[in-house]
Structure 1
Amino acid sequence: MKLAYSLLLNAKPQAKRYKLSDRDSLYLLVSVTGTKTWRFDYRLDGKACTYTLGRFPDLSLLDARKARSIAAELVAAGIHPKAHEKQCQHETIAHHKNTLWPVCEEWLNARISNMDNSWRADENATSACCPTQHASNRDFERSLRDYPS
């Protein structure tokens, strides 16, 4: 049965959770609390699996169908959609770790740990007359973010 937007909006919680099936193993699971979650059932390596696509209405019917199509392509290639999603997240995190600020922060921390504490007294004495000279790491990071790349 093809789902309609009005049917999805009017789906109310019941004593047990239930499914509103769309097509191609896509369905909306309505929980006892009223949460509506898009799910896709598939079979890979001889095991039945379920992939959660997102919540309704944050993820519309059309978007859920598109996401199901992408997940079905991954399954056809022998890839679990959730594993692929996690791999993409790790690649994004690794990419952003190799930016300028983490490298600068590592360098600054290495320099500060090698210094003795005598410079702190000088910093406190001159901070009143030269406040810009003693900007914190957060101010430095903010200025780097605002600098056009």
Structure 2
Amino acid sequence: MKTAWLALAIAATTPAVMAEVWVNPGFYSYHFQRDRGFNNVNTGLGFETVLTDTYSVTAGFFHNSDRETSRYVGVYAMPFKIGTFKAGAAVGAFDGYPKMREGGWFPAVIPTVAYEGPQFGLNVSVIPTVGEKLHGAVTFQFKYKLIP
């Protein structure tokens, strides 16, 4: 619940300090280990607030691959751009994965490519497999520009 408040606080500060706010309903995961029965539909709520053309902050929560609730906070660093496409990484922290630090917070660097149109966007990320602790996948996160 604290992450939801943080996400709302980020969104609320936008008119004064930041340019744009994107909202997302979670994401879809295509897991590398297809036969393991992981949750692919990772519903939740997240916000991404643009700071500059390269950096944005993000926070939210989702129903993870292990069917537990995960929270996240981080920064998108997207220095490579071609038109409406950006590439870089999400750098942040997650929790809620039972086998990863017993469900506690852990750092992550996640390669990401984004398409950002006038109103809709898509983040595509590659989550690495970490033994039996974290389940690798390609994720697809649709987003809607809440504040232009």
Length-normalised TM-score, structure 2: 0.27
Q: Which has the higher helix share?
A: 1
Q: Which has the higher strand share?
A: 2
Which one has more relative contact order, counting CA pairs under 8 Å at least 6 apart? 2
**Which is greater in Rg?**
1
Length-normalised TM-score, structure 1: 0.27
